[in-house]
Copies of this chain bind each other. A is one copy, B any other.
């Protein structure tokens, strides 16, 4: 148990301890670190968090986080706006962007259908997606391979207007890089044999 002889420190420790994966000991290390820094540095820290919450907006096109009306991805004219990658949340946008392999745009659903958590189709940004799809030539489902992810993909798939010139794709399933065969579940291994690809040494 950490006995802190200051209510101000105690409060700051409690707040840092609300962050994911942070316990009271680490929170105290953060607080002591901030106490040692000069006021402008702490002000910059506080301002960045305050502005984050106050100024951040949602992109009117794709519901990604945005500094203004639209996010930087939707505003980027080099990106192919006719290819729409459907993801659950902004974290997924960041993950896919980090691969550097995708040059289309996104659509952030803001969740996936999950009756257990009380999330139904009406809670997701499906209507805006259907409108955007009218001008698209491909939609990619980049949702999790859970029951919820597959249910959500299926729900949206059924809503999509049948059009011959619209490709509907999903992320490739298979074994991950660096995996030993013995640790892969049977379903994944089965699919990766069935969908085997050309060996390119």
Contact = CB atoms under 8 A, between A and B. Distances in A.
A177 B93 CA distance: 49
A97 interface: yes
Interface stretch (A32-40, A123-131, A180-188): A32-40
Interface stretch (A59-67, A137-145, A158-166): A59-67
Interface in A140-182: none
A49 interface: yes
A119 interface: no
B97 A3 contact: yes
Given A5-B93, A20-B29, A94-B28, A49 B53 contact: no
A126 to B, nearest CB: 20
A4, A52, A64, A100, most chain B CB atoms within 10 A: A52
Contacts of A29: 20-21
A191 interface: no
Interface of A: 1-9, 11-12, 14-15, 18-21, 26, 28-35, 39, 41-46, 48-53, 55-56, 64-67, 71-73, 90-91, 93-94, 97-98, 100
19 contacts: A4-B94, A5-B65, A5-B72, A5-B97, A6-B56, A6-B65, A6-B66, A6-B71, A7-B67, A9-B52, A15-B49, A18-B45, A19-B30, A20-B33, A21-B29, A28-B94, A34-B52, A34-B53, A35-B90
